[in-house]
Structure 1
Amino acid sequence: MARARESLIDLDATPYYHCINRCIRRSYLCGDDTYSGNNFDHRRTWLVDRIKFLATVFSIDIAAYAIMSNHYHLVLKVNRDDALNLSNDEVIARWYQLYHGCILVDRYRSGEKLNAAYMFRINEIVDEWRTRLYDISWFMRNLNEFIARKANKEDNCTGKFWEGRFKSQALLDETAILSCMMYVDLNPIRAKMANSLLDSEFTSIQERIKQYQSFQKQCHYKNNKSNKKPEFKVLQQPRLLLDFGCSIDKNTIPFTLFDYLELADFSSRLIRPNKRGSVLKEAPNILSMLNIEVDSWFNTIKHFRRHYANFAGSQSSLRKCAHSHHHSWYKGSA
């Protein structure tokens, strides 16, 4: 039985969510469509650009993404505190990037002096917009509707573009966040659309690797050019993606970038054991730290969506969340 969206997204339980949506048409969302003979690779760029734009408007960060042929994956982190700390003017400015607003707020923006009753109503409107700025449903609505309208215009047709509302999974603990992000980033390799992480087009892992390689080249060039003692430089991660950091910093993904890249490389070799240079090293330290066995990890990143339904995490995390929602249990086997 389907659950209401408000029961699936519980920010008190976790700010991290895995969202998926699939194209309904026989023709593919992106890539080569064998039925029509057309190529829609350019639509992947539409999605990536729109996702990143929305991340600047909403108080929702992008932890991972993968744009596939007929569907896409997002791992989102809702930053409710950021939205609650925005001033009314900041909320209005953000909302007006998406919508026309309303006449009363237009009068306020123009500098017109309004009485107390008008200002009270304006505050009510702004508070509603503020709530929407950390609402995943409104984020996904602005993403899906924009792409559907643009694709329909290109195809000169009308009707549905997506098979339905997006599906979501709440990621209840660090292990669920890590395994879900890895599941998303390894999608092209698992689908045999790419042979390596660097070849995985339109994924967050490719973007992070390219940024990391660029940083290493800059440091190597500057250190070789100067005879002075090498300077310590802070790694600049992709600007519109949520940074990796540590468990202490709530505004970052609770792992280091180096540990994640090491684990991604190890995991890609597990999935494609026959590819060139796929000699497996010892399991990364991060698996030992989280007390995860290699076989269990491989099974999880390969079949993440089969292991869980709308909530993902350890047995204790699933049980705790289920009890808080007055359920006896949630599906989960990993």
Structure 2
Amino acid sequence: MTVARKELVDTHSPGFYHCTTRCVRRAFLCGINEESGQDYSHRKDWIERRINELSTLFSVDIYAYAVMSNHYHIVLYLAPLAPLQLTDDEVAERWLAIYPSKTDLRRTLRKQAILNSPKTLALYRQRLGSLSWFMSRLNEPLAKLSNQEDDCNGKFWQSRYTSQALLDEGAVFSCMAYVDLNPVRAKITQKLEESHHTSIKQRLNDITSDKSLEETLLPVSGSVKHITQNISNRDYINLVEWAGKALVHPNKASIPKDTQAVLERLNLQTNHWLTQLHSLESRYCRVIGPVELIRQRAKKLYRRCLQGISSAKLLYN
């Protein structure tokens, strides 16, 4: 049984989510079209820039992303009530940045109208904490821009987007690694530093010293500035690097002790964790996490069960 997105996404509590959007017919509309030979790779830059831009306007933090030729992934932290702390002027400014005006005069008039309407301010404040509005403002302009470039009409994205709730830190870091390793699994590259249009590439570019490696893992962009507690930049990069090597060369890349300690700290089973990185998205339905938390979420949604119980028994200790 499917789960409605409005039931899956908690509008009152912060949480992590994995979102995916695919091009219509899974065509390579953001890569090189195999039939025509047309190169659309520049659209990956559009998506990457748009993700980072919108994360500073909506109440989200981006922890991982990967822009591929026919789809993209995002792991984000949503704080739906964070906009309540914004001033009225900040709400108006953010909304006008999301929906920019063509002239300064038009922008001034729109801002004044927003500030003079408590109902409009309350509506925009709510939308700034909405996952659906974030994904809509990411996908819709990119679809229009692409169709304009192709001089055509019709759907660019296959559907709105799919989402999975990540119920604990083990699920978050597993999903982050799954997303960051998309180019490696697709056999586009074997090196993290060559994994273009991914958050792991951005993290590696931001590392400037050994001190920054030891700092706590932070989002690559965002306005909430949520801080994780259990893993450093070095631990996460080493974890993804080892997983990438193990995916390319099975049974040859032995797990380092430090990396094994990280997985144990997250209550994850080493062997099954690596196996599930091949197909983490399809092994679960709308939630990823320990068995007990999946069962609690199912009960909250008035469901007998949710897909992923058997996989969770293997993933967690």
* Coarse TM-score class (shorter-chain normalised): 0.7 to 0.9
1:251–1:22 CA distance, 2 compared to 1 (3 A): same
Cα separation, 2, equivalents of 1:189 and 1:199: 10
Cα separation, 1, equivalents of 2:111 and 2:286: 41
Determine if the alignment matches structure 1 residue 241 to structure 2 residue 256: no
1:109–1:164 CA distance, 2 compared to 1 (3 A): closer
Show CA shifts across 1:171-213 (max 9, x none).
Answer: 011111111111000111011111111111110001101211x
- With 250-259 and 74-83 compared, the bigger mean Cα shift is at 250-259
Show CA shifts across 1:292-320 (max 9, x none).
Answer: 22111112222111221011111011011
Determine if the alignment matches structure 1 residue 172 to structure 2 residue 167: yes
- 1:320 aligns with 296
1:109–1:289 CA distance, 2 compared to 1 (3 A): closer
Question: Residues 65 and 74 of structure 1 are in contact (CA less than 8 Å); yes or no, is this contact kept in structure 2?
Answer: yes
1:262–1:240 CA distance, 2 compared to 1 (3 A): closer
Alignment of 1:180-259 (within 5 A): 180-212=175-207, 214-216=208-210, 240-241=220-221, 251-254=226-229, 255-259=231-235
- 1:281 aligns with 256
- Which one-letter code corresponds to 1:215 in the other structure? S
Cα separation, 2, equivalents of 1:57 and 1:98: 7
Determine if the alignment matches structure 1 residue 135 to structure 2 residue 115: no
- The structure whose Rg is larger is 1
Question: Residues 16 and 177 of structure 1 are in contact (CA less than 8 Å); yes or no, is this contact kept in structure 2?
Answer: yes
- Which one-letter code corresponds to 2:305 in the other structure? W
Quote how far apart the aligned CAs of 1:279 are: 5.5
Show CA shifts across 1:59-99 (max 9, x none).
Answer: 11111000011000001111234211001111011001122
Cα separation, 2, equivalents of 1:52 and 1:308: 27
- 2:280 aligns with 304
- 2:84 aligns with 84
- 1:28 aligns with 28
Query: What percent of counterpart residues are identical?
Result: 36
Match of 1:159, SS? coil
Long gaps (5+) in structure 2? 102-106, 313-317
Cα separation, 1, equivalents of 2:250 and 2:287: 33
TM value normalised by structure 1: 0.82
Match of 1:302, SS? coil
- 1:156 aligns with 151
Alignment of 1:5-20 (within 5 A): 5-11=5-11, 15-20=15-20
Quote how far apart the aligned CAs of 1:242 are: 5.7
Cα separation, 2, equivalents of 1:26 and 1:173: 31
TM value normalised by structure 2: 0.86
Show CA shifts across 1:266-293 (max 9, x none).
Answer: 2112111179x95643443111212322
Show CA shifts across 1:209-252 (max 9, x none).
Answer: 1211x334xx8xxxxxxxxxxxx999598885269xxxxx9821
1:44–1:100 CA distance, 2 compared to 1 (3 A): closer
- Which one-letter code corresponds to 1:175 in the other structure? G
Show CA shifts across 1:81-136 (max 9, x none).
Answer: 421100111101100112269xxx966845x9xxxxx95xx111111101100111
Alignment of 1:40-79 (within 5 A): 40-79=40-79
Cα separation, 2, equivalents of 1:280 and 1:233: 20
Quote how far apart the aligned CAs of 1:3 are: 3.2
Question: Residues 309 and 330 of structure 1 are in contact (CA less than 8 Å); yes or no, is this contact kept in structure 2?
Answer: yes
Taking only aligned residues, the RMSD between alpha carbons, in angstroms, comes to: 3.1
- Structure ranking higher in helix proportion: 2
Cα separation, 2, equivalents of 1:163 and 1:306: 17
- 1:270 aligns with 246
Cα separation, 2, equivalents of 1:271 and 1:325: 36
